[in-house]
Structure 1
Amino acid sequence: MSSSPLLRTPLYEEHRACEARMVPFAGWEMPVQYTSILQEVRAVRTGVGLFDITHMGRVLLRGSGAEKLLQGITTNDVASLAPGRAHYSLLTNPQG
């Protein structure tokens, strides 16, 4: 029985460049650790951290009204996106 190759997020090459230890996770090759856990905890407490969640989902809309719809229900400026690009956003309801 052959298994499917693991999917990679858009940040995969960055993770590898930072020497992340990659592991299989829900069909994706994801970083689990970079340095020691203590060093990573210290880094996010005194600086900043980034967590790659790009594997969690995507929305694909097509049609002439897609941009207008997304502009009305997301918290980011959809019109500023270049074709093929994405950004992290919230999907809202009429009450926000």
Structure 2
Amino acid sequence: MTDAASTGPLKRTPLRDVHVKAGAKMVPFGGWDMPVQYTGIIDEHRAVRRAVGLFDISHMGEFEVRGPDALAAVQRLCTNDASTLEIGQVQYAALCYPEGGIVDDLTIYKMGADRFMLVVNASNIDKDWAWVTSHSVGRAEWTNVSDETALLAVQGPRA
């Protein structure tokens, strides 16, 4: 998403001031003030590819689904098989239209026996929320926790 479409002041993640204090170069991204680099993009890219890196992804959307039919709802909406997840595991998946085509890509976290969190792209939060809540099944209770959730991603072969 380009920031030409954004209006108003930039949103800030809960860690924004920490990034600034640590010397991050901050840039507008999808309506958010986000860190793009600290010491240099190439060095940081190599560090993540060879070892480990930490990313503030608090701008992403987070939807919780709970209840006895939470798994059934996730299975209906997403392309991957969430029944294979153990508590604490995550998998990559897609939300798809019934006639084909992708609504969005996302990650699915198993948070408990009857509790999952779907993490969607920041630019698609409203669209994805409308999709999952209008196409859910059974006794599954959805909550959009995007505004009160901070997320960090640990990535790389030593993650």
Aligned equivalents of 1:87, 1:23: Cα separation in 2: 19
Which of 42, 48, 57 pairs up with 2:61? 57
For residue 82 of structure 2, what is the aligned residue in structure 1? none
1:40 aligns with 2:49: no
Q: Which runs of 5+ in 1 are unaligned?
A: 76-84, 89-96
Change (3 A) 1:24 1:47: same
| TM-score, normalization by structure 1 | 0.56
Q: Using CA pairs under 8 Å that are at least 6 residues apart, name the structure with larger relative contact order, 1 or 2.
A: 2
8 A contact 2:13–2:58 mirrored in 1? yes
Q: Which amino acid aligns with 1:53?
A: I
For residue 4 of structure 1, what is the aligned residue in structure 2? 8
1:73 aligns with 2:77: no
| TM-score, normalization by structure 2 | 0.37
| SS class of match (2:27) | strand
Which of 3, 11, 27 pairs up with 1:23? 27
RMSD: 3.1
| SS class of match (2:62) | coil
> Displacement, 1:60?
7.0
Aligned equivalents of 1:32, 1:51: Cα separation in 2: 10
Percent identical: 48
Q: Which runs of 5+ in 2 are unaligned?
A: 1-6, 71-110, 118-147, 152-159
